[in-house]
Amino acid sequence: MSPSEEADLLRVNLAFYQSFESMDYDAMAALWSQRPEDICVHPGWPFLAGWRDIRESWRAIFANTGFMRIDITDVRVELGERLARVCCVENLYSVFDQQTLASQVAATNLFIKVDGAWKVTLHHGSPVASQEVAPADPGDEN
């Protein structure tokens, strides 16, 4: 497996989080393999099997989320010919009721090679911890 193969994979993994953070449904959809075999487990959800249900979950999440920032750390890769895995920690920051909420999600992302390109075929996120960081705007009226 070449270093460029790993770089390609990490680029797709990053694009996944960029589309997530910017809540860009079309960009997110284009990254998935869009097959009945696709699986998605959002933190605390039961697993969704097949692109049709997964697609609706992203639409619902994007429609119901305000500001969100995701920094990924601890990125770990395992490459195969057809399937490849990236595990990482998602450090999420969201603003709710004038508070910045920080939380961590442990994520497993699995990719499948389709026509020479890596496509997302599984996203599994699970909650790790949740804590309040600081008021979003301490000088604001309340």
Binding site residues, its own copies, CB under 8 A: 37, 39, 41, 43-47, 49, 74, 76, 78, 80-85, 87, 89, 104, 106, 108, 110, 112, 121-122, 124-129
Q: Which burial class, exposed, middle or buried, applies to 102 when counting CB atoms under 10 A from its CB (0-12, 13-18, 19+)?
A: middle
Q: How many CB atoms lie within 10 A of CB 142?
A: 7
Rounded to a whole number of angstroms, the minimum distance from the CB of residue 132 to its own copies is 19
Kind plus residue range of the DSSP H or E element containing 54: helix 51-63
**Residue pair 104/80 in contact by the 8 Å Cβ criterion:** no
In the complex, the smallest distance separating the C-beta of residue 10 from its own copies, rounded to whole angstroms, is 16
Asked if 9 contacts 77 with a C-beta cutoff of 8 angstroms, the reply is yes
Q: How far is CA 70 from CA 1, 17, 53, 93, 118, in A?
A: 29, 7, 23, 6, 21
Q: How far is the CB of 121 from its own copies (least distance, A)?
A: 7
Q: How far is the CB of 59 from its own copies (least distance, A)?
A: 21
Smallest gap from Cβ 39 to its own copies, in A, equals 5
CA distance 8 to 30: 15
Nearer to its own copies, 1 or 60 (CB): 1
Nearer to its own copies, 94 or 124 (CB): 124
Q: For its own copies, give the closer residue by CB, 19 or 104.
A: 104
Nearer to its own copies, 47 or 96 (CB): 47
Nearer to its own copies, 27 or 50 (CB): 50
